[in-house]
Structure 1
């Protein structure tokens, strides 16, 4: 069998491209070169194996036209008979197809094995009831208003704005955020000291890099607290020192004894214990920072959500030169947007901005302009009010369901955020047995002990509710109670 072709003019060793599949053929051509360098007795088998693998892997896609036997033989520096034999063998196997006078093509019977990309997003797959904390109700995301803002931004954004941005963020967004945070959280917000970041995680990483460059090797973290804080600082080469809490906030004795000069805090709604730092402890924490010329990093992850009274203002408002303040839209809009902010003391501003510049050259411009417009037009405030109503109702439903199905339960923490702490009566223990039964019933729930050594004894759970409808909350608590009842 011989194959005719229309390509000509290529020199030996130069890949000729087939008229109907040049890109596909050129991408796979080099895999055949080892066949030409194989020992003479193995050259035919090597060429067949290379062609077969090129088709299987998808480097030669279905429908790609191959060079004629004469052209391929000349390119590879082998005999035409060897190429003809390879074409005939792979045609018989179904990898290729040929037609006299039309050439040789990759057949359509073989489906290249393209491995699918795995999704490593954190999810409770297969859970009958998912009470894991930290996720807002993504169905509340204001799609219509967001889409309208997106269209408006694309219509008004000048071409010049699509270049590399100010690493701090668009001036328009920083100005909008300064007004928003001053009004809602009592922050001393200078737009020149706001850095737009891809969430609190990047803010903490930036601060970690700057602290490490200044010689800091340890920071204090709340215990119990978010495990992400310690992991993020570890990525910057900084160790985490656990600092125990009492009912008012971080215990000051252990903080002073730790000899750290930076501490990560969640004063408005401590995660996961649910307490709010007392006024006395907030003042003591700032006194400590001034005495050691230290830095308090304030993670205000859900400060907008307080249901029994107005939220307590941010700690940063009391001492902007010793507190770095960070927050994001991850709980208010959606974590997938990766939009947040960092307000830094003047002494850190230049170094943080330079780290941000070298890290990613600035945040995506369209996303920044979109959030700015969303804030400016009042859409963000309207969305927050809607979320406030929904989450307050769900918290009330959760507390009621726990009291119904777990008589004697103690629910602690302020009426805020997206989770509660529930301490179940002793008859539901021990903890490991409770968790085994819950898991067997496909109930996803996390113990307070998972967040640090100071969590205490008994069955104490961190129960997230923001992402669940009232009906799902009631049903989930019932299922958990049925599965774990002693």
Structure 2
């Protein structure tokens, strides 16, 4: 090659810092500190993955029906009209709303039609549409206090608090939330409940209380927000029907695909009283900004083809087996531990002796076992005289893949305290 070409190459390497050239000393490789690989830097900022994962609220990610979902997506995209690839309708694809209306009526006893369903990206998104922002349907600062169950997700309470809502806890007992307290506080206009399976303590809302809370909403001119987070997973008898069926004009039904399929889909739905539909759509805006229209079409086809029903039946059998194995392991290794909330859902509550929850959680962390304590779910304003605090563990038996479940159960049994 020409001498000038070599000289230009050397000059470029010197300019980029790879070489060092000094007059009279020749050209040498530049001394540089060894770079830290980007992957190593990223990993160092993340907490290590737990050895055993029994966190609640997560389905078995390995059980997602990939083949059936891909087939449904292929059929849905082939049949989709051209306009489906344009700006999204904030109410959601008509195809999905139609199959949801049929499915929810058949599986959950919901009374609705497609025009009263609004698709959203999940339960938290639904709460934000209702309470947060300048176009909120129920502006938190003017809608009065919001009643919530005495035990529930702190994330939801935090979201409501950030929107300006004041939450008032309802004590719980073996029949669910004690809704009689709603009438005693004239400031409460809205109640957020999990009637099919109280979260996290377990158990459905008593039939008498279901009727009472609907009567309260009618008399107060208020609303009940029904979080049907895992209503399809009942194991020992047919699922309890949705509270919304008792009065579609006083109950807002909120459901998602997060537990039945995957939280990665970011798909949920609101079944609304007729007078709230336009207000929710105004809060969403003129175009769909959250839920993918293509995922909506795929879910519609998955439900319509029967794939969703087959998947739910398969997962119900799998999770029931997981529950039975948990109960069996506890009966063998820790028979003194009471297990509750196992008739439905994806988790169980293990009752502990008073004063032992914190030490048990420390022992779990030492063994690389991740799970939640019951105290994390207690509303900070729930008075001890209204409902004494109870020590316990919230064990998500759906989370581990099949091959990891036996070791997770062994680790769980190992950290449980002996009988007093």
Shared fold (TM-score, shorter chain, > 0.5): yes
Cα distance, 1:469 vs structure 2: 4.9
In the alignment, what sits opposite 1:211?
138
Asked if residue 275 in structure 1 is aligned to residue 203 in structure 2, the reply is: yes
Larger helix fraction of residues: 1
Q: 1:368 to 1:468 in 2, by over 3 A?
A: same
Asked if residue 221 in structure 1 is aligned to residue 151 in structure 2, the reply is: no
Whether the 8 Å CA contact 2:338–2:350 is kept in 1: the answer is: yes
The count of aligned residue pairs is 391
- The higher radius of gyration belongs to 1
In the alignment, what sits opposite 1:287?
215
Q: Taking CA–CA contacts closer than 8 Å with sequence separation of 6 or more, which of the two structures ends up with the larger relative contact order?
A: 2
Cα distance, 1:315 vs structure 2: 0.2
Distance (Å, rounded) in 2 between the aligned partners of 1:343 and 1:474: 40
Q: 1:370 to 1:92 in 2, by over 3 A?
A: closer
In the alignment, what sits opposite 1:147?
70
In the alignment, what sits opposite 1:91?
15
In the alignment, what sits opposite 1:160?
83
In the alignment, what sits opposite 1:461?
393
Whether the 8 Å CA contact 1:408–1:425 is kept in 2: the answer is: no
SS at match of 1:368: helix
Asked if residue 306 in structure 1 is aligned to residue 234 in structure 2, the reply is: yes
RMSD: 3.1
In the alignment, what sits opposite 1:479?
411
In the alignment, what sits opposite 1:440?
366
Distance (Å, rounded) in 2 between the aligned partners of 1:113 and 1:357: 45
Distance (Å, rounded) in 1 between the aligned partners of 2:12 and 2:159: 59
Whether the 8 Å CA contact 1:218–1:239 is kept in 2: the answer is: yes
SS at match of 1:262: strand
Cα distance, 1:207 vs structure 2: 1.4
Q: List per-residue Cα deviations over 1:115-149 (Å, max 9, x = no partner).
A: 67969xxx984322221101101111111111111
**TM-score normalised by length of structure 1:** 0.73
**TM-score normalised by length of structure 2:** 0.84
Question: Which runs of 5 or more residues in structure 2 are unaligned?
Answer: 22-29
Whether the 8 Å CA contact 2:89–2:286 is kept in 1: the answer is: no
Q: List per-residue Cα deviations over 1:416-441 (Å, max 9, x = no partner).
A: 11001111456xx5222222122111
In the alignment, what sits opposite 1:28?
none
Whether the 8 Å CA contact 2:87–2:287 is kept in 1: the answer is: no
Whether the 8 Å CA contact 2:122–2:266 is kept in 1: the answer is: yes
SS at match of 1:411: strand
Distance (Å, rounded) in 2 between the aligned partners of 1:115 and 1:358: 41
Q: 1:414 to 1:91 in 2, by over 3 A?
A: closer
Distance (Å, rounded) in 2 between the aligned partners of 1:458 and 1:389: 31
Asked if residue 364 in structure 1 is aligned to residue 296 in structure 2, the reply is: no
Question: Which runs of 5 or more residues in structure 1 are unaligned?
Answer: 6-64, 67-86, 98-106
For 1:422, which of 350, 375, 383 is the aligned residue?
A: 350
